[in-house]
Amino acid sequence: MARYIFITGGVVSSLGKGLMAASLGALLQARGFKVRIRKFDPYLNVDPGTMSPYQHGEVYVTDDGAETDLDLGHYERFTGVSARQSDNITSGRVYRDIIAKERRGDYLGATVQVIPHVTDAIKQFALADQGDHDFILCEIGGTVGDIESLPFMEAIRQLRNELEPDQTVSVHVTLVPYIAAAGELKTKPTQHSVRELASLGIKPDVLLCRCEHPLPESERRKIAQFCNVRAEAVIPALDAPSIYSVPQQYHAEGLDTEVLRAFGITDSPEPDLANWEDVTDRYFNPEGEVTIAVVGKYVGLPDAYKSLNEALVHGGLANRVKVNIHWIDAEIFEKDAADIAVELEPMHGILVPGGFGERGSEGKIASVRFARERDVPFFGICLGMQMACIEAARTSGIEEASSTEFGATSEPVVGIITEWMSEEGLQTREAGGDMGGTMRLGAYEAVLAGNSHISAIYGGVTQISERHRHRYEVNAAYRDALESQGLIFSGMSPDGLLPEIVERPNHPWFIGVQFHPELKSRPFEPHPLFAGFIAAAVEQSRLF
């Protein structure tokens, strides 16, 4: 049976618990263990699919079609293990399932309560689908003391009691703030947080203390003493220069060694961190740089495009260049058309990412036009591909070309999809139906045209599988009109009905994809589309 590592956070949110979980997973993996990482989200949404990216950051989509927390993206990028439906749960989903069971009469007259029914459901989720994993890491969202997280803490407490004594370890991530006026690091918030956790019946084995200044040995001992943890298990975690240096940094501070020691494992070989050394070498020693414009909507919050940001970095790693991302709110191009040349002329590549809603769409279409006319490498993702198609349609003379997502239109170059084939058979949706969980979600295959740019990018294969998250689709009825403008449909769904990829053969690099390649890019395996796009941007930078 797998061993369990429960990861909780204290003092404040945004301490990088997700990255810590991902790094610990990567370190255990580098020692030869098989790991899975799960996220427990205490909020009441069934999944983050309906939340604004400004509220919650990006929605990460798994191969099996779950809309999940963005931390699952960190887990995948750091461990290479594809996340699944069974790796993310929310209070909303637990309650939805329990209430459905109650309505069916499955509780046979019992009173349905948080303990045991909610806590049992959480425990079942933690224990499900263990496979042959050595470790399952469970990260609990939020901060200890939150009302919402109480059932999750209680479920951990029970599991720690029910599983074997050496089968679970608790890691608590806290903050050791620096008070400038006193010139000191303060341990009191950590003491309080551990006390709060202890009051819920959970004694941490390892403390990861986030700090902006080095933690003096005396403070480390003080934390150990007050928090009833071995001094070596108080791991200082200074801010890292890059997320990709976190695994090596935490290893140097003893995180994985201490977690294993808490399990009673003291004979594990040192981790093989060669691939992390290669990634950090490429990251910190670039041989050049390029600047990419990302023309989107949620540009005020970097987390809203987390995977995209990382995939662009990976494209840079593949080409040994630094990628500067110039985030542009598409709406600014709608107010003053002159801005566009000022903003986009210095760019070595233009990317229009995924998005929802009409706001900024004309600015995105204008950016596509700029990239096409000026031969600047262009990459359109999901909504970005749809905008590239509308741009081509308008150039062909279809002036009213639009998407039904933006309102009724006489020229639906992009329209709602209500039927498509999946592995489970025909999927159908109604226009105007529920918004949650009803998009075309998860991995779907696409067939690539021979001799196309896209098939060369993927190394000559003719069939690929990529993750999707969309409700609208380029309308194949406009194919001839678009191809007459030089925008070729070079990838289709296997049944030939849904356009998956468009490209311009007469342009240095112009590709639109209906899927989200950024979700599958990893630092050790940069996605070929991002590696190719950045290579084209490097070429473009040579023209400057």
The CB-of-378 to ligand GLN minimum distance in angstroms stands at 16
Residues that bind ligand GLN (CB under 6 A): 354-356, 382-383, 405, 469-472
Backbone angles phi, psi at 393, to 5 degrees: -65, -40
| 39, 23, 244, 66 alpha-carbon torsion, rounded to 10° | -20
Q: Give the distance from CA 323 to its chain's centroid.
A: 19
Told to judge if 343 belongs to the known catalytic residues of this protein, a careful annotator would answer no
Catalytic residue among 382, 391, 470, 500, which? 382
The CB-of-356 to ligand GLN minimum distance in angstroms stands at 4
Helix (H) or strand (E) holding 467: strand 463-470
In the bound state with ligand GLN, the residue whose beta carbon lies nearer, of 67 and 343, is 67
Phi-psi region of 457 (alpha: psi -120 to 50; beta: other; left: phi over 0): alpha
Diameter over CA atoms, the chain: 75
From first CA to last CA, the distance across the chain in angstroms is: 59
Please give, one letter per residue, the 3-state secondary structure of 262-299: HCCCCCCCCCCCHHHHHHHHHHHCCCCEEEEEEEECCC
Calpha distance 206→160 (Å, rounded): 15
Told to judge if 326 belongs to the known catalytic residues of this protein, a careful annotator would answer no
Q: Cα angle vertex 47, ends 46, 51, to 5°?
A: 110
Catalytic residue among 56, 172, 314, 516, which? 516
In the bound state with ligand GLN, the residue whose beta carbon lies nearer, of 198 and 416, is 416
In the bound state with ligand GLN, the residue whose beta carbon lies nearer, of 152 and 305, is 305
Catalytic residue among 310, 391, 503, 518, which? 518
Told to judge if 382 belongs to the known catalytic residues of this protein, a careful annotator would answer yes
The CB-of-56 to ligand GLN minimum distance in angstroms stands at 15
Length of the chain (residues): 544
Angle between helices 528-542 and 306-319 (to 10 degrees): 60
CA atoms within 13 A on the CB side of 504: 27
The CB-of-273 to ligand GLN minimum distance in angstroms stands at 35
In the bound state with ligand GLN, the residue whose beta carbon lies nearer, of 160 and 471, is 471
Query: Which residue pairs, CB below 8 angstroms and at least 24 apart, start in 229-232?
Result: 229/194, 229/204, 229/205, 230/258, 232/258, 232/261
In the bound state with ligand GLN, the residue whose beta carbon lies nearer, of 405 and 503, is 405
The CB-of-516 to ligand GLN minimum distance in angstroms stands at 7
In the bound state with ligand GLN, the residue whose beta carbon lies nearer, of 113 and 418, is 418
The CB-of-510 to ligand GLN minimum distance in angstroms stands at 18
Question: Which residues are part of the catalytic machinery?
Answer: 382, 516, 518
